[in-house]
Amino acid sequence: MTYNTHTIKELEEKWQKFWDAQKIFKADQDASKPKYYCLEMFPYPSGKIHMGHVRNYTIADCMARFKMAQGFNVLHPMGYDAFGQPAENAAIKHNTDPAKWTYACMDQMRVELKRMGFSYDWNRELATCDKEYYRWNQWIFTKMMERGLAYKKTSSVNWCPQCETTLANEEVIQDQCWRCKTEVTQKDLNQWYLKITEYNEKLLEDLKTLEHWPSRVIAMQENWIGKSYGVDMYFNVKDAEETITVFTTRPDTIFGATYVVLAPEHPLVDGLIQGSADEDKIRAFIEKVGKESKSLRMSGDQKKEGTFTGRYAINPVNNEAVPIWIADYVLMDYGTGAIMAVPTHDQRDFLFATEHGLAKRIVIQDAKNSDLTEKDMTCAFEEEGALVNSGQFDGVNSRAAIKSIGEWMEQEGAGKMTVHWRLRDWLISRQRYWGTPIPVIYCEACGVVPVPEDQLPVELPQDIKITGEGGSPLAQCPEFVNVQCPKCQADARRETDTMATFFDSSWYYLRYCSAKNDKEVFDKKEAAYWMPVDQYIGGIEHAILHLLYSRFFTKFFKDLGLVDFDEPFVRLLTQGMVLKDGEVMSKSRGNTVDPDSIIARYGADSLRLCILFAAPPEDQLEWNDNAVDGSWKFLSRIWNLVHNRYVDGVDDNITKDQMDQADADLERERNVTIKKVTEDIEKYKFNTAISSMMILMNSVDKYKFAEGSAIKQGILNRVIKTLVILLSPFTPHMSEELWQKFGNKEKSIIASPWPICDEGALKQETVQIIAQVNGKLRAKFQVAASITEAEVKELVLADAKIQSFVDGKPLRRFIFIPGKLANIVI
RNA sequence: GGGCAAGUGGUGGAAUGGCAUACACGUUGGACUUAAAAUCCAAUGGCCGUAAGGCCGUGUGGGUUCGACUCCCACCUUGCCCACCA
């Protein structure tokens, strides 16, 4: 049989059926083996898989099969992140139902995933849009309500007046609705939040335990949580009872505070401006800022606008009266919504003060350039220096003053050292149809009532017409909205918002442990056995939100007593994007390559090998159609090698004394390759693992083979078998087929043990020493491995070529690295 | 503005203090063939040289070292993430 497009298709289908029928990948608890939970981020079922999926899942599959071969009890599940807006858009576009569309997509995707030969335990397949799944979303939500972690709050959100729906920040494109291009406004809505901030300290602290996460993901999470130490300072309003609390991380600049700024939404604003001569003007300004979309307001390059309130506040350290302003560059949802402004040492304050003619006072002088003046300043001086104009703190280093002024103010009752966090509570309400209904009922008498556990799930009504207009589709469905209060049986209204889909994906890895369990959210014993996930693999785009939310859920489950660990994912690998012609492969760019077309021509094995060989998994991968040819060629060579050179029934247990030099060299290379492939897979270096197998293949080709020699044939058989097993995590279909040729008729190659490197066989009789003169390569010597430094020195110095470079100059130093090099310094 | 990553032949990449360019793609030449495909063999960083060989060479400039793609400092470029965060 030759290796061609036709045979490969047949062969791959045959083995996919075999794995299915034999239930090879069905995972069950097994006390006799160590467990290994290998997980990839489940896909959104858009129908076809793309190269990004292929890359992600091939990496995971290689890992999973490698661990199986090493004797681990591997759990490797797959499912679908099936709720979400694209299904609603598709429903509108194709005039169909989101459920129908989604389930059809999942059916198509399952076929494509199977065609790749991934080692999934399909018994555990789940879809978040199944009511058997989302019912537990609702259960988790009610548990969070019980503990005060799910609560309702009114806040300002992006709102499209045309579509009558809220928009996520990503859906606002240049202040317009991405769908209908209408100008986006802000609207106050009463919505559900999860109190993730309750866990901010733990979420930050436990990052330290994640030794096997990429450091940049840790850094991104740290920044996102954003713990900052500073001082809350109390500025009394002049001629009034109120106190403005400002937050600053730079208490060392307090003597330079020349005005105070409040966010337009600050609760004290209303009282302060009442009766002011400019009250109408000020209110108009506040209203204008209130309408601005968040993205515009938050973009740093916009000109800072503001207005004076007519009132003054007292700087607590020097009793100076400073004007109180309102400005759009101060945000209500960070710190206290109020700042002290120090134009000389903060660039934003500098720009604002210059624009509006506000006072500046230098309080830090640069050590090197100590003649800064307010007049000459063209930008704020934000570096370290010595304090001036700062009372008893004059001359103190500014960095030291951050602490000492903070402490002093606390003693004086003028402030308090505090910590502020960037992390906000998580808004989960969505005015959409295709998501988990929030399980809450509003009763006039009883208030907000969670749906009791025995009445879950609150099912999504079927056959809803999605138009994308007129607000939430569920709100227009009276059978859904009108219910009886579970407590008092009076007429009541059901919540019509659904949950953000990030909720669904925050705990699916736990559900896989007992995916069919209809009694509880997950089986505690199964979770205790399989969790935490040993290897998690997915895109860097989920570095913050999904991973943070999952960590939050895990900590919540621990508090509920359902799990006994703090972190869900032990090792994390974030794979790079797949590019075509230097750009990210995407539908909108029209530069996609369909994996199916590659499989049809070359088979899944070549595609798998190619995508792992082309680049290290964390790097971007530049897709090149020609590269598949290289993988194909290599697999053909392996195929032909087994068919032409392997002879069944020959004893391959050749001992060292039976080998000549060529045999020993090949045997040594076989062991080098075992070691290299084993270590490289563990370190995610699939590309070099593959190249080392190619090197071994090349050596086999060059191996001098004597026809009829049982010893040579034994050596050859052994190296061929090793190659086939080492390849099995990468190209499982072909490896299974070839494995059969070795007389393993009924058993999968997965049951065969991973080869072990014989360290003894790695030893070499002779080694190559490179000789340098002043660090430059000048000669090479083949010497006995046991050679001494003195012997090398003598040998090297005697060499004519070396002598020509030494040129009679005196030897200053001789550096010798055993087995590697000798360097002559003259 | 802040944080992080990366920069090596025609291309993807290898080497993480010790032979720069492993492995592969591509290209060129050769074998086989009526021919093509496939396959196999050989060559393949630049410059100088008939050759032996020499010199240069890992974004730029400096430094450390016997020795630097690798470590340190500064800069340039690209990518990603965050960003009026006080």
Distance A182 CA to B77 C1' (A): 39
pLDDT band at A368 (very low <50, low <70, confident <90, very high): low
Q: What amino acid occupies position A647?
A: V
Percent of chain A with pLDDT over 90: 61
Do the bridges between strand A165-167 and strand A150-160 make them parallel or antiparallel, or are there none, so unpaired? Answer: antiparallel
Q: Calculate the average pLDDT of chain A.
A: 90
Nearest residue to nucleotide B13, by CA–C1' distance, is: A615
Distance A622 CA to B4 C1' (A): 21
Provide the β-strand partners of residue A322.
A313
DSSP A108-141: HHHHHHHHTT----GGG-EETTSHHHHHHHHHHH
Distance A699 CA to B14 C1' (A): 19
* Element spanning A309, H or E: strand A306-314
Q: Which pLDDT belongs to residue A370?
A: 66
Q: Which pLDDT belongs to residue A569?
A: 96
Nearest residue to nucleotide B25, by CA–C1' distance, is: A627
Q: Which pLDDT belongs to residue A171?
A: 64
Given a cut of 80, whether residue A586 has pLDDT beyond it is no
Distance A607 CA to B15 C1' (A): 27
Q: Which pLDDT belongs to residue A24?
A: 94
Among all strands, which nt has the closest C1' to A545 (CA)? Answer: B81
Closest CA to A137 of A515, A503, A517, A554: A503
* Element spanning A502, H or E: helix A501-504
Q: What amino acid occupies position A290?
A: G
Distance A730 CA to B42 C1' (A): 31
Distance A318 CA to B17 C1' (A): 58
Among all strands, which nt has the closest C1' to A327 (CA)? Answer: B84
Distance of alpha carbon A469 from alpha carbon A692, whole angstroms: 58
- A721 or A467, greater pLDDT: A721
- What percentage of chain A's residues is helix, strand, coil (to nearest 5)? 40, 20, 40
Question: Where would I find the beta strands (DSSP E) of A716-774?
Answer: 766-773
Per the CB < 8 A criterion, the answer to whether A266 and A338 are in contact is yes
- The values of phi and psi at residue A402, to 5°, are -55, -45
Rg of chain A, C-alpha, whole Å: 34
Given a cut of 90, whether residue A541 has pLDDT beyond it is no
Distance A692 CA to B12 C1' (A): 17
Distance of alpha carbon A464 from alpha carbon A254, whole angstroms: 60
Given a cut of 60, whether residue A300 has pLDDT beyond it is no
pLDDT digits (tens, 9 = 90+) for A31-48: 999 999 999 999 999 888
Distance A613 CA to B9 C1' (A): 19
- Chain centroid, CA A685 distance in Å: 19
DSSP A758-794: -HHHH--SEEEEEEEETTEEEEEEEEETT--HHHHHH
Nearest residue to nucleotide B67, by CA–C1' distance, is: A775
Provide the β-strand partners of residue A156.
A188
Dihedral angle of Cα A283, A284, A289, A290, to the nearest 10 degrees: 70
Among all strands, which nt has the closest C1' to A351 (CA)? Answer: B84
pLDDT digits (tens, 9 = 90+) for A381-424: 888 888 999 999 999 988 889 999 999 999 999 999 999 998 88
pLDDT digits (tens, 9 = 90+) for A317-336: 999 999 999 998 898 888 89
Distance of alpha carbon A223 from alpha carbon A240, whole angstroms: 39
Nucleotides of B under 7 A from a protein CB: 2-5, 11-15, 18-20, 22-26, 38-41, 54-55, 66-68, 79-86
- State the Cα angle at A72 between A70 and A74, rounded to 5°: 125
Q: Which pLDDT belongs to residue A798?
A: 85
Q: Which pLDDT belongs to residue A720?
A: 95
- Put simply, whether the predicted model's pTM sits higher than 0.80 gets the answer yes
Per the CB < 8 A criterion, the answer to whether A418 and A181 are in contact is no
Q: Which pLDDT belongs to residue A721?
A: 94
What mean pLDDT do residues A238-254 have? 93
Among all strands, which nt has the closest C1' to A2 (CA)? Answer: B38
- A743 or A479, greater pLDDT: A479
pLDDT digits (tens, 9 = 90+) for A673-686: 999 999 999 999 99
pLDDT band at A627 (very low <50, low <70, confident <90, very high): confident
Q: Which pLDDT belongs to residue A178?
A: 64
Q: Which pLDDT belongs to residue A172?
A: 65
Q: Which pLDDT belongs to residue A323?
A: 96
Question: Where would I find the beta strands (DSSP E) of A548-600?
Answer: 569-575, 578-580, 583-584
pLDDT band at A356 (very low <50, low <70, confident <90, very high): very high
